[in-house]
Structure 1
Amino acid sequence: MSQVTYEIIRKLFEIYPIILQIVLFLVLWNVFFRWEKGIWIVAGILAVMNICMGLWLEKPGVIRYTMSAVIVLGYCFCKYQKHLEKAVFILLLFYNFHALSYLIADSIYQCTVESIFRGLDVLSEEYIFRVYLGMAIGMGILLLSYTLVLLIMTGVVIKIVKKPFMLRWQETIFLSVLNIVGSMIVGISVDLSVVQIEGGVFLLYDDKQEMLWKLPIIVVLIYVGEISAIYIYQNYRKLQKERQKHFVEEQQVKAMKQRLEEAENFYGSIRRVRHEMKNHMTNIKGLVASEKYDEVESYIEKLDETIQTMDYKFNTGNAVTDVIINDKYQKAENAGISFQVKFNLGETDTISAFDIGIILNNLLDNAIEACEKLEQEQRYINLTLKKKNHFLLIEVENSFDGKVIWEDGGIVPMTTKQSDLPDILMEHGIGLKNVKNVADHYLGDMDIKIKNDVFKVTVMLQQKEIK
């Protein structure tokens, strides 16, 4: 093999790992993030930048990787409202996988090259040809080993990470410790592999042959530790979500029981007033007959106050939804939120009032909280009920700040707020999942539409006989 041919092969071999790394980085990104078109643009920029800096400018890998990290973090800074935790973790995880894969591949390469060049005759006419050929074969084995190890490492992550999850900074640090350790160990090993010393060169693998198998063992242990940390954290996250869900459902049941009691008390008060109305009329007639008009006026005012306390602004025809909607209206009014309602349910034996209560509680609570983040003149909520054939459509539209964080594979958008439970983040996503569960129970669906600063949720329920 001539030097020209070898140089061409070497250039191709330099391009290949760049493309491989970008592809596998995108795969890892898809594991932890929702797939987005914007990441393809980032991938293109990374490819062009790395190829130009690596081949033409011949910049060292550390500069290329630093520039790549800056580009990715810049994209995340703009895309995810400064939430960089998960992006930092993915970068450190990928760099660790790259470094560990290289160290294993390098051990295989060292063993292979030694056997390839052993026995070469310096005086042979084909010596130069065989040297270049051996170097090309060695590079091929290095890249093949690197590819296989990196694919296996990435594949295991794909296997154990079932769906994307949120990360806070403390969790990012916890999961990234071994990534940093792995990258540092590989860097130190590479620096020590060839060392200039007085009177010659120290070659690590020549003087310490056992390092050819000790270093790969260290690599495997670091990798297993990192994968175990991800697996344990994912299970912890799952248990945490179950605890959150249980807590939310418990609070919703308590709230619904309270609403039902309020509805019962309200209609009980109406029945009592109706029952006492004859007595009130008799008293008024008596005062009129006695020409005590001032007392009549005072009596009527007190009676009117009593009736006003039992009057609802919105009447839906259903005791439970009356209480819930008017309660949310009071909260919205106190917060300066415009609250419009077109909701006439009536009494129904096809959909449980308790289930409708869960839907209204979750959607209206989320809408009120979203509006509270805006200026008062921008706050509004529209609640609508539509009936079509055997279906009910409940729509809640509200203004919000336009910032959306998608989690759990993009099923529901989510915001976070502190709960009464220690170390737990309550998520709107949990409430919306409960709404979706109710919709699924009635063979319906939940649809979320976001346009600029308008958030709209539509819940479709199929009316069926309650058993």
Structure 2
Amino acid sequence: MLDTWEAEHQILISQLEEQEKHALQTKVKILEERYQEMLKSRKVVHDMKNHILALKNYDQEQNWPGLHEYLNELSDDMMEYNFHVWTGNHMLDMILNQKEKDAQNQNTVMQIDTEVFSTLPFTDREIISLFGNLLDNALEACEKINDKERWIKIKIKKKNLLLYIEIANALEEMPKQIQKEFVSNKKDNGLHGYGMKNIQDIVKKYDGIFEYKVYEDHLIFMISIYNN
């Protein structure tokens, strides 16, 4: 019995470490893409290339504590360049800015309706998992559309103590579902399903409500969480 518990405990620790590594690598990707935008606008600090090399070095050496500390020091400096503040949360704003750019690159109209929050209940890792997965799913669905408008609508609002998140996107075809779980057409559909489970786990952690509605031409995900 003890051996079984220790084995399960080790598996859980490994899963948490993998999620943390993925979150940090996502931060690196976002900051590298921000750097490319800075190059285009010719507003680059002369030593920024060295910062990017340092980030890659931390990643290659899998020095996650060092990478995390370096990212925190670097993020504030990079925020000054052509950065739209949607919510006041740096990580969420970085994701929204990046996904808006991704949408533009695939001719998808993205509408973002938010407000600036004093606090949000999520950690950076949870924000990456929650919003990253939902928006990647929406972008994937829109990418399949050929003969009608591609669009994504994002609403993040707070009323009294309730945080309300709504992400809607156009559909070319009805998504496949198995036992109420969405199935991706991507080769990594196992990871896609794991991403949906992460979303549900995060909402459950905060005693929230996660639901969706599928219509003939669009899909809506809705999340409600109490945010004291």
Contact 1:256 1:354 survives alignment (8 Å): no
Is 2:157 the counterpart of 1:386? yes
| 1:441 aligned residue | 205
Q: 2:218 aligns with which of 450, 454, 457?
A: 454
Supply the distance in 2 between the matched residues of 1:398 and 1:262 (Cα, whole angstroms).
Answer: 32
Deviation at 1:439, TM superposition (A): 0.3
Supply the distance in 2 between the matched residues of 1:323 and 1:436 (Cα, whole angstroms).
Answer: 22
Q: Structure 1: which amino acid aligns with 2:200? A: K
Deviation at 1:268, TM superposition (A): 2.1
Deviation at 1:386, TM superposition (A): 1.8
Q: 1:254 aligns with which of 14, 19, 24?
A: 24
Q: Structure 1: which amino acid aligns with 2:174? A: K
Structure with bigger RCO (C-alpha 8 Å, 6+ apart): 2
| 1:364 aligned residue | 135
* Change over 3 Å in CA distance of 1:376–1:461 after alignment to 2: farther
Extract unaligned runs of 5+ from structure 2: 1-11, 31-67
Supply the distance in 2 between the matched residues of 1:397 and 1:355 (Cα, whole angstroms).
Answer: 20
* Change over 3 Å in CA distance of 1:349–1:369 after alignment to 2: closer
| 2:182 aligned residue | 413
Instruction: Please show how residues 256-335 of structure 1 align to structure 2 within 5 Å.
Output: 256-258=26-28, 264-269=73-78, 310-335=81-106
Q: Structure 2: which amino acid aligns with 1:418? A: K
Deviation at 1:246, TM superposition (A): 8.2
Q: Secondary structure at the match of 1:348?
A: coil
Q: Secondary structure at the match of 2:86?
A: coil
Instruction: Please show how residues 68-467 of structure 1 align to structure 2 within 5 Å.
Output: 249=19, 252-258=22-28, 264-269=73-78, 310-348=81-119, 350-375=121-146, 377-407=148-178, 409-410=179-180, 412-419=181-188, 425-464=189-228
Contact 1:263 1:319 survives alignment (8 Å): no
* Change over 3 Å in CA distance of 1:453–1:269 after alignment to 2: closer
Supply the distance in 2 between the matched residues of 1:405 and 1:324 (Cα, whole angstroms).
Answer: 26
Supply the distance in 1 between the matched residues of 2:120 and 2:84 (Cα, whole angstroms).
Answer: 25
Supply the distance in 1 between the matched residues of 2:155 and 2:110 (Cα, whole angstroms).
Answer: 11
Contact 1:391 1:462 survives alignment (8 Å): yes
* Change over 3 Å in CA distance of 1:400–1:427 after alignment to 2: farther
Contact 1:336 1:376 survives alignment (8 Å): no
* Change over 3 Å in CA distance of 1:247–1:378 after alignment to 2: farther
Supply the distance in 1 between the matched residues of 2:224 and 2:117 (Cα, whole angstroms).
Answer: 17
Contact 1:400 1:455 survives alignment (8 Å): yes
Q: TM-score, normalised by structure 1?
A: 0.34
Moved more, 247-256 or 391-400: 247-256
Q: TM-score, normalised by structure 2?
A: 0.66
Contact 2:158 2:164 survives alignment (8 Å): yes
Q: Secondary structure at the match of 1:416?
A: coil
Extract unaligned runs of 5+ from structure 1: 1-241, 271-306, 420-424
Contact 1:355 1:438 survives alignment (8 Å): yes
Identity score, percent: 26
Higher helix share: 1
Deviation at 1:313, TM superposition (A): 3.7
| 1:113 aligned residue | none
Larger Rg: 1
* Change over 3 Å in CA distance of 1:266–1:253 after alignment to 2: closer
Supply the distance in 2 between the matched residues of 1:262 and 1:341 (Cα, whole angstroms).
Answer: 26
Deviation at 1:251, TM superposition (A): 6.5
Deviation at 1:453, TM superposition (A): 1.4
Q: Structure 2: which amino acid aligns with 1:432? A: M
Contact 2:164 2:222 survives alignment (8 Å): yes
Deviation at 1:461, TM superposition (A): 1.8
**Corresponding residue pairs, total:** 176
Q: Structure 1: which amino acid aligns with 2:184? A: T
